[in-house]
Amino acid sequence: MNDIADIESDLLEQAEKRYDDFKIEEIDTIKKIYEDSYLESPVWVGGDSKFVCLFIDLDKSSKMSFKSHAKTMAKIYDYFTQTLFDVMSIEGIEAEYIDVKGDGVFGIFEGEDAVFRALSAAITFSTFFKKHIRPKFQTDDQPMNFKAALHVDKILVRRLGKRGARNNNEVWAGRLVNKASKLAAKTADIYEATDTYHETDFGLLVISDKAYKLLEAKREYAIECCGHDMAGNEINPGHIVWEEFDTSLDENLSESKIYYAPAIWCEICRDQVNQGLLS
C-alpha cells in the first residue's frame, strides 16, 4: 500500500481533473444511463427534457423492524419491494428505469404517456397492497402502509465506478427522484391535517402540481371519479378524486400546492379506467 500522502495526492489529482472536465450531456431518453461510455469521465446526463418518477416505499419501516425478527423483516421487504419491481415491469406499464432505494422502489418513465403509465403502476400496486400485502403482514399493534409520490422534472444522473467493475452505480443528483421522495414523505402531514383519510385505511398517492396538470389530458380517467366509491357503491360521477394540499410554507418543496388521493381501483370500473389511462 502506498503512503497516505501519495494516496491523497492521487485522489486530489483525479478529483480536480473531474471537476475541470465536468459537463452535462443533453439527452431526451434515459437509455443513455445504461451505457458505460462515460464511466471514466465526469459526464452527467440530463438537460432540459422532463421525465416522470414514481416513488413508493414502506412507511415507518424502522418501527416495524424493532418489533420483528430480522428474517421476518427480510421476508416482508422481499415481498414488498419485489412486487413493486414487478408492477413497474408489467407490459404496457413498464418504466424505462427501475431501481431499489432502501425499502422502496422508484421508476423513471419517459414519453408522452409517461405520467399515465406511472399512475397506472401506482394504482395497480396500491390495490394489490390493500388486498394482499397488508392483510398478510399487518399486526394489531403495528399498522402497515406505504408512501407513494409521482413527480415530473428534469434529471441529472451519472454512473460511478470503473469500467468492468461489478459495483457501477447510478447516482441521481437532480431534482426528479429527490423531489418524488420528499413528496412521498408529505403523507404524514396530510394524515395529520385531514380527517378524510387515516393511515390505517388507505395508502395515499401524492402528486406534484406539474404531474396534476399533465393528468388533465385524460381527465375522465386520471382526475375524475368513475361514479363509484372504492367498494363499488354508486356516488356522483365526475367527482374530483384529488384533494389539494397547501405546501406554500414548506421550504423543501418549490411548489405551493400538491395533490393527494387514495390510490386504489374501483372494483367495478378498474379495467375500464386502466385501459383509458394506457390507451
Q: Is residue 258 part of a domain?
A: yes
Residues 6 or more apart whose Cβ sits within 8 Å of residue 267: 228, 230, 231, 232
Q: Is residue 143 part of a domain?
A: yes
pLDDT at 41: 64
Q: Specify the number of domains making up the chain.
A: 1
Q: Is residue 2 part of a domain?
A: no
- At 212-242, the pLDDT tens digits run 999 999 999 999 888 877 777 787 777 788 9
Identify the top-confidence range among 24-38, 161-175, 262-276. Answer: 262-276
pLDDT exceeds cutoff 80 at 199: no
Q: Is residue 274 part of a domain?
A: yes
Q: Is residue 27 part of a domain?
A: yes
Q: Which amino acid is at 113?
A: D
Of 235, 217, 216, 218, the closest CA to residue 226 belongs to: 235
Could you give the CA distance from residue 279 to residue 276 in angstroms, rounded to a whole number?
5
- At 18-64, the pLDDT tens digits run 788 888 878 778 776 666 445 666 677 777 888 999 999 987 654 55
- At 130-162, the pLDDT tens digits run 889 888 888 777 778 899 999 999 888 877 766
- At 60-97, the pLDDT tens digits run 654 555 455 677 778 888 889 999 999 999 999 999 99
pLDDT at 34: 63
Structural domain of 256: 21-278
Q: Is residue 132 part of a domain?
A: yes
Q: What percent of the chain has pLDDT over 70?
A: 86
pLDDT at 165: 63
- Distance (Å) of CA 101 to CA 56, 58, 81, 264: 9, 11, 9, 23
3-state secondary structure of 94: coil
Mean pLDDT of the chain: 84
Q: Which amino acid is at 195?
A: D
For residue 92, what is the domain's CATH number? 3.30.70.1230
Q: Is residue 6 part of a domain?
A: no
pLDDT at 71: 77
Q: Is residue 202 part of a domain?
A: yes
pLDDT at 247: 92
Going by DSSP bridges, is the β-strand pair 169-172/146-154 parallel, antiparallel, or unpaired?
unpaired
Helix 114-128 to helix 70-87 angle (10° resolution) is: 140
